[in-house]
């Protein structure tokens, strides 16, 4: 400016102050890391949520550095501290904490258990060194963003990667991490000795699996199924009902059905079907029906003893139980081993009695059609008057649906493979004239074709057989009688 004085421009820049160590009250005494989801327990101590859940899962009570012993009987979210920690992170330019997943917490607690067990004096210095080592380990892990571990079961689950991690695969990994956390919390509650926690878990599981296919698949793990199995037979109605309803939801996914049967859940399901609460029995019948849809499960379910209670449930007061039991029996009777078991149980006579009285005619007929496809089933049905029963139903023609007429034809077609025994019974019931008439009025070409084949069987006797004393034949045991 001409004054000759040199002007100095001084600028002041605030350099960010980064605090290396969070306040001690922000650190979980068990995990040694900054708390992302702090909770207060009954004794007044504050911990990371999954640290407490891991301790409860392993039935372990730690001795804290100040020699105090926490009480985990009650858990309350510490929202005030959580907000304080986040505000401190923001003002201190410190990365906000990532929630500790259950598997990592469990590993930390196991290490702590080993440390505590080997130190009879429970020296506080040992505990402090352990916490320092865990804290260092957590920091080392958190610096390796691409590192992940694989748990003993289920899909690969990242341990330290935050849900908002923006890698190419973060959108795929984040839901798995969320479901893993949900699964861990559900398992802890299912294994709890407190009924209210078990009830909370099964109700939550039922809601989670009600509509989302992905959730049903991801939560159907051996660990969760094992925990669920332990509460199915609960003597508390709400726990029993909701646990089996949740199981029905899980079984809706094709890929889950074999897992469920292999987890050992069928025996307690059968016990509930025999003597559980009425609503539980409805869900149990539905679960067995759903599980029986998979061909790999049919034989196993029969071997485990589901057939007798399912037969008994056909006469349940609950319509839902009756119909789901019938559907389960239909799918189970597609397997020869189960058809043999049903014959030995005297099921054919019982099923024919239901048809005669109009009890769930359509569903019972479908089971009898399967039974007629086996040698033992045919023999038992021929002995029980099935030919006369079906021909009489077709003659009356009082059906609510065409499907029932077709089922009668299908059952007769199966029985027509019974040789001379069937021919004699069909002749006695005057079936041939009825079938000729029926061929012209049936709507289904498939059903008409079966009628034609039955007629061919009946007419073969005129060409190949000499005069036969049908009365004597009918009074004999025949070659196709069941042993």
Quick: pLDDT tens for 93-102.
888 898 888 8
Surface-to-core class of residue 296, CB atoms within 10 Å of its CB (0-12 exposed, 13-18 middle, 19+ buried): exposed
* Mean pLDDT value of segment 225-246: 94
**Measured between alpha carbons, how far is 476 from 483 in angstroms, rounded to an integer?**
14
| CATH architecture of the region 24-116 | 2-Layer Sandwich (3.30)
What is the C-alpha to C-alpha distance for residues 184 and 191, in angstroms, rounded to an integer? 11
Q: Which of 14-28, 126-140, 204-218 has the lowest mean pLDDT?
A: 126-140
What's residue 119's pLDDT? 56
Give the burial class of 326: count Cβ atoms within 10 A of its Cβ; 0-12 exposed, 13-18 middle, 19 or more buried.
buried
Residue 310: pLDDT band by 50, 70, 90 thresholds?
A: very high
Burial of 203 (0-12, 13-18, 19+ CB in 10 A): middle
- Distance set, CA 168 to CA 98, 171, 174, 206 (Å): 20, 7, 12, 33
What residue has token string 């021909």? 391
- Measured CA to CA in angstroms, residue 393 lies from 341, 387, 398, 411, 454 at distances of 27, 10, 7, 12, 17
Give start-end residues of each CATH 1.25.10.10 domain in the chain: 192-334, 345-462
List, edge to edge, every strand of the sheet that includes 46-48.
46-48, 38-41, 75-77
Q: Indicate whether 417 pLDDT > 50.
A: yes
The proportion of the chain whose per-residue pLDDT surpasses 90, expressed as a percent, equals: 46
pLDDT at 101 (0 to 100): 87
Measure the CA dihedral 75/79/84/90, to 10°.
110
d(C-alpha 303, C-alpha 341), whole Å: 9
Instruction: Give the pLDDT score at 474.
Output: 59
- The chain-wide mean pLDDT, for the chain, equals 80
3-state secondary structure of 67: coil
pLDDT tens digits for range 366-410: 999 999 999 999 999 999 999 999 999 888 875 556 788 889 999
Label residue 468 by pLDDT band (50, 70, 90): low
Contact 228, 190 (CB under 8 A): yes
Architecture in CATH of 192-334: Alpha Horseshoe (1.25)
Q: What's the half-sphere exposure (Cβ side, CA atoms, 13 Å) at 11? A: 3
pLDDT interval class at 478 (50, 70, 90): very low
Residues of the chain with CATH 3.30.40.10: 24-116
**Which is more confident, 301 or 104?**
301
Contacts of 141 (CB under 8 A, 6+ apart): 147, 159, 160
What class is the 345-462 domain? mainly alpha
Token output for 326: 């019938």
What does the alpha-carbon distance between residue 50 and residue 21 come to, in Å, rounded to a whole number? Answer: 22
User: Distance between CA 416 and CA 435 in Å, rounded?
Assistant: 13
Per-residue model confidence (pLDDT) at position 123: 45
Sign of the dihedral through C-alpha 221, 227, 233, 239: negative
CA distances from 376 to 326, 336, 338, 344, 480 (A): 20, 10, 11, 9, 8
- pLDDT per position as a tens digit, 30-87: 988 899 999 988 788 899 999 998 888 888 888 887 778 888 888 888 888 898 899 8
Q: Return the H-helix or E-strand segment holding 349.
A: helix 347-356
């Amino acid at each position: 400016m001409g004054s000759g004085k040199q002007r100095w421009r001084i600028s002041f820049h605030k350099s960010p102050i980064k605090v290396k160590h969070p306040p001690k009250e922000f650190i979980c005494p068990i995990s040694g890391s900054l708390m992302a989801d702090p909770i207060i327990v009954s004794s007044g101590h504050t911990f990371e949520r999954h640290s407490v859940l891991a301790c409860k899962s392993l039935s372990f009570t730690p001795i804290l550095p100040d020699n105090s012993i926490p009480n985990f009987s009650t858990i309350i979210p510490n929202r005030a501290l959580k907000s304080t920690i986040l505000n401190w992170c923001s003002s201190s330019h410190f990365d906000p904490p990532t929630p500790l997943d259950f598997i990592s917490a469990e590993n930390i607690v196991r290490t702590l258990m080993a440390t505590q067990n080997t130190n009879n004096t429970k020296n506080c210095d040992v505990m402090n060194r352990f916490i320092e080592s865990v804290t260092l380990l957590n920091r080392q892990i958190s610096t390796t963003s691409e590192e992940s571990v694989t748990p003993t079961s289920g899909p690969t689950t990242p341990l330290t990667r935050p849900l908002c991690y923006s890698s190419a695969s973060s959108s795929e990994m984040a839901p798995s991490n969320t479901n893993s956390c949900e699964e861990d919390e559900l398992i802890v509650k299912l294994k709890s000795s407190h009924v209210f926690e078990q009830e909370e878990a099964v109700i939550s599981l039922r809601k989670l699996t009600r509509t989302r296919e992905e959730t049903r698949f991801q939560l159907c793990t051996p660990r969760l199924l094992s925990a669920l199995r332990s509460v199915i037979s609960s003597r508390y109605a709400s726990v029993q009902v909701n646990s089996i309803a949740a199981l029905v939801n899980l079984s809706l996914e094709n890929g889950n059905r074999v897992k469920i049967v292999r987890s050992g859940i069928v025996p307690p399901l059968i016990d509930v079907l025999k003597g559980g609460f009425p609503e539980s029995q409805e869900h149990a019948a539905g679960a067995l029906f759903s599980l029986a849809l998979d061909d790999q499960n049919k034989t196993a379910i029969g071997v485990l003893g589901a057939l007798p209670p399912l037969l008994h449930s056909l006469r349940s007061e609950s319509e839902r139980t009756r119909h789901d039991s019938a559907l389960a029996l239909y799918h189970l009777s597609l397997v020869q081993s189960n058809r043999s078991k049903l014959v030995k149980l005297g099921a054919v006579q019982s099923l024919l009695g239901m048809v005669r009285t109009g009890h769930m005619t359509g569903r019972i007929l479908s089971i009898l059609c399967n039974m007629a496809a086996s040698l033992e089933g045919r023999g038992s049905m021929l002995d029980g008057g099935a030919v006369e029963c079906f021909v009489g139903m077709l003659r009356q023609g009082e059906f609510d649906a065409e499907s029932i007429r077709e089922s009668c034809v299908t059952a007769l077609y199966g029985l027509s493979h019974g040789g001379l025994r069937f021919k004699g019974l069909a002749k006695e019931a005057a079936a041939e004239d009825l079938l000729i008439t029926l061929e012209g009025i049936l709507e289904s070409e498939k059903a008409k074709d079966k009628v034609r084949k039955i007629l061919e069987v009946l007419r073969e006797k005129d060409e190949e057989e000499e005069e036969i004393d049908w009365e004597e034949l009918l009074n004999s045991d025949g070659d196709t009688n069941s042993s």
